[in-house]
Amino acid sequence: MLGTMIAQPKYNYRRRLPHIQKNEWPLFITFATARRWHLPPSAREIVLQCCLVHHGSKYELITAVVLPDHAHMVLSPLRRPDGWCWSLPEIMHAIKGSSAHGINKLLGRTGAVWQQEWFDHVLRSNESLEEKVAYICNNPVRAGLVSEPSQYPWLWRSSVGTGL
């Protein structure tokens, strides 16, 4: 009965972005909501708290901002007890999974909160790190949400390590 078997879906390469990680090197990460759905303020708070919960254990968070339909972060993965660095998929699963669960519970809904993929880029110099931190901090201003970065409640920035 081979003719009645259902074929497994093929791996769609164009859907998968390459993800490169260089141990503790800082990463710039962007992830977006499914169908570019706009998160209400209470959901943005959940996302920010999920970004912060593993700061100091799985990664050093340098900065994070949660906008209505996407989030940006700069972080440096830390080493696990076995000596290997936490992988980017492990980190993103922790953030996106727990935030999606919390958001769906809060709003009494089900279904995807986040797009499956995310964008990441290894930062290779202090200059690019400072540029990305400035980009993230000014994102709510560029989006017209506030006039000063300090006015945006879903922006967090470490006070050490960036030179800013």
Bridge-based pairing state of the strands 70-77 and 27-32: antiparallel
Instruction: Judge: domain 20-157, CATH 3.30.70.1290.
Output: yes
Q: Residues 52, 156: contact at Cβ < 8 Å?
A: yes
How far, in Å, CA of 12 to CA of 9, rounded?
A: 8
Q: Which tokens is 48 given?
A: 């920010």
The domain locations on the chain are 20-157
Q: Per residue of the chain (164 residues), give pLDDT as tens.
A: 444 433 333 323 344 555 566 667 899 999 999 999 999 999 999 999 999 999 999 999 999 999 999 999 999 999 999 988 899 999 999 999 999 999 999 999 999 999 999 999 889 887 789 999 999 999 999 999 999 999 999 999 998 654 44
Q: State which amino acid sits at residue 45.
A: E
